[in-house]
Structure 1
Amino acid sequence: MKHIKKILAAGICLAASLYLTPAMAAYEIDPDYTMKYNDPGKIEQRYRWHGPYEVKSVVLSDGEAKYGNYKYKVWYPVQQAGRERPRPLVITLNGTGGSCDKDEPIFRHLASWGFVVAGNTDAQTATGFSAEWTLDQALAANQDSKSPLYHQIDEKEIGIVGYSQGGAGAYNTLEGKDGDKFKTMVTVSGVTESIGEKLHLPVWIYDPSKVTIPVFMAAGTGILDRKLITPLDEMKENYSKIQSKTAALGRRKDADHLDIQTAADAYITAWLRWQLDDDIYAKRVFTGKAPEILRNPAWDNAEVRNPETTQPKQTEK
């Protein structure tokens, strides 16, 4: 019954997407997007650029009815002989009208930092179904001796990243059958409660209080994020409800809904490096006496919450 309700809601999502043009992510990310930003944070600068790994990709499936007729694709780091080890897995959820084909440059960037990154062409991800199907296929490939992903994935280190309505999808995925497999979550201009209520989309409404894993919430200060998609007061309300002892939020200045994925990319990479790969340099963005995100003039309304930062601060520039 729960799945039937979600499928009906997905149909409503499709109709609503015609109305919700500002929230659409149906544009191709520039492969050279990293050249666009002049980041003031030193750690931010490091993770803005591509990492040390060459990246390859493989299609897991394309057009199979049991997986919603979407294409599922994975980007993965090419490991050096003699130094192979399983890598963390990141499942991604598109915004309205988006796809892994259009967002490929940011997936390649993340894979270059040592992640196996799995995406799909689902343009209506809020139900979380395509995330579950992506995870199922990636884990199956990890056990398939004929797959280039054979034993390449660390199944204990899995994260999920949701953009726009994909943020709701990430929350819904955590409540699904494989929710306990995820170790961390990132929402990127994730839709908040008011827009789901205005559009009568119950699948866009979720309960942050059920989340117990570490979460990073990123958004922009532009008018679409600020006034429509991710209002600051609702973003903070979600943040306050999350049960995890480790969380962070921040709004990238001069970024709006359509460019927040690239604008926030460096800190999203740093968060995942810390949470899934124990990167002690990346964790300094969010921990210590002076977390970089709190001092970075390119970010507003930043907050951190973790056992290693005894006095979390908030920037109000």
Structure 2
Amino acid sequence: MLLPQVASATTYQPTGPIERRYAADGPWATATMVTRPCDREGNVCDIWYPSDLGSNPLKQETTGFHHPAIVFADGTSDGITADYAAFFLRHLASWGFIVIRSRDGATGQGDTVLDTASFLLDLAKNTGSIFYEKVDADNVGLVGHSQGAATTTLLFSRNTPIFKTYVPIETPIRPFCVIAKCTIDLGALAKVTHGSILYIGGDLDAASSLPTNLGYYAPTSSKIDKVMGMIAGGSHGEIQGNPGCESVGIPLYCNIGAYPLLGYPTAWFMWKLQNAADGPAAFSENGELSHAAPNWLGVLSNVRNR
């Protein structure tokens, strides 16, 4: 019996033209900073951002561009380090986003995540900040990993007004969230009226398997755009690749690295926060992710061609 070949860091290649486009670095050079404490728990924030703030090379604009923002919610940890998911987050910044995360390893109900978003928006109002009048407050997204993915889905279920779109990556099984205080009300998912969501799991991730992700996707309201996809051969820690798994150092926790997370999550945020025209072609029920992405399994979508 022939089995499908599992992708590895050396074999994973984006296949469709949209995935290939966004898996490559974007046109913005990037910079990074560490801030003062930015949330109620006293955690510092890391910010990845385009070094030429206010420019938009995609539109040949040198000034006046307001950058959409992405907040990242970390997975469970007693101490988040600066390099946690850093390759992935820097990649998003190369596509024009200002990306911020608190080093909170227990995001739970999302209080520190909301603090982090407010911290960035306050910087955008501070005349002494490099982000003064550089942030598009109407286009803020949320992405999270593991416990942070559960927090992301939880805030989505509450119609949190500050966030326009959500990407939970490796959302864990519900018993974990009982312990971590990030339990998602499935009934609330059916009542969502605001935003959009892209659920991502790994088909070798016991904590975020196909049934687990389907258990979140299925009850999610069909009144908003919702998509689900599983990384073929993906485990729980791919997002920590730099970009490969060598630096992760935990067997079977990272099989491929960050490579599969560069293309479609970036394409999603470009569609939802920067109005990229190729979003429906990537994510519709007849789109590239569903029919031309062999490295992805179990894809479901309610997005219509537009």
Which TM-score tier does this pair reach, normalised by the shorter chain? 0.7 to 0.9
Deviates most, 49-58 or 266-275: 49-58
Q: Does 1:287 align with 2:284?
A: yes
Question: TM (normalized to structure 1)?
Answer: 0.77
Q: Provide the residue aligned with 1:61 in structure 2.
A: 36
Q: Provide the residue aligned with 1:50 in structure 2.
A: 25
Q: CA deviation at 1:60?
A: 3.1
Q: Provide the residue aligned with 2:303 in structure 1.
A: 306
Contact kept, 8 Å, 1:273 with 1:279, in 2: the verdict is yes
In structure 1, C-alpha distance between the alignment counterparts of 2:289 and 2:201, rounded to whole Å = 17
In structure 2, C-alpha distance between the alignment counterparts of 1:99 and 1:249, rounded to whole Å = 29
In structure 2, C-alpha distance between the alignment counterparts of 1:130 and 1:100, rounded to whole Å = 17
Equivalent positions of 1:222-237 (< 5 A) are: 222=204, 225=205, 227=206, 229-237=207-215
In structure 1, C-alpha distance between the alignment counterparts of 2:103 and 2:270, rounded to whole Å = 25
Q: Alignment identity in percent?
A: 24
Q: Provide the residue aligned with 1:274 in structure 2.
A: 271
CA 175–299 in structure 1, closer or farther in 2 if over 3 Å, else same: closer
Secondary structure of 2:190's aligned partner: helix
Partner AA of 1:73 in structure 2: D
Q: Does 1:250 align with 2:229?
A: yes
Q: CA deviation at 1:120?
A: 1.8
Q: Provide the residue aligned with 1:192 in structure 2.
A: 173
Q: Deviations over 1:34-58 (max 9, x none)?
A: 9873222222111111100011233
Q: Deviations over 1:103-136 (max 9, x none)?
A: 2221111000011101121111122122111011
Deviates most, 213-222 or 94-103: 94-103
Aligned residues: 268
Which consecutive residues of structure 1, in runs of 5 or more, have no partner in the other structure? Answer: 1-32, 310-317
Q: Does 1:238 align with 2:216?
A: yes
CA 100–182 in structure 1, closer or farther in 2 if over 3 Å, else same: farther
Partner AA of 1:258 in structure 2: G
CA 293–145 in structure 1, closer or farther in 2 if over 3 Å, else same: farther
Specify which structure has the higher proportion of helix.
Answer: 1
Question: TM (normalized to structure 2)?
Answer: 0.79
Q: Provide the residue aligned with 1:87 in structure 2.
A: 67
**What is the alpha-carbon root mean square deviation over aligned residues?**
2.5
In structure 1, C-alpha distance between the alignment counterparts of 2:184 and 2:160, rounded to whole Å = 17
Secondary structure of 1:108's aligned partner: helix
Which consecutive residues of structure 2, in runs of 5 or more, have no partner in the other structure? Answer: 1-7, 56-60, 241-257
Equivalent positions of 1:198-209 (< 5 A) are: 200-207=179-186, 208-209=189-190
CA 92–216 in structure 1, closer or farther in 2 if over 3 Å, else same: same
Higher RCO by CA contacts (8 Å cutoff, separation 6 or greater): 2
Secondary structure of 1:241's aligned partner: coil
Q: Provide the residue aligned with 2:109 in structure 1.
A: 127
In structure 2, C-alpha distance between the alignment counterparts of 1:186 and 1:100, rounded to whole Å = 21
Q: Does 1:166 align with 2:148?
A: yes
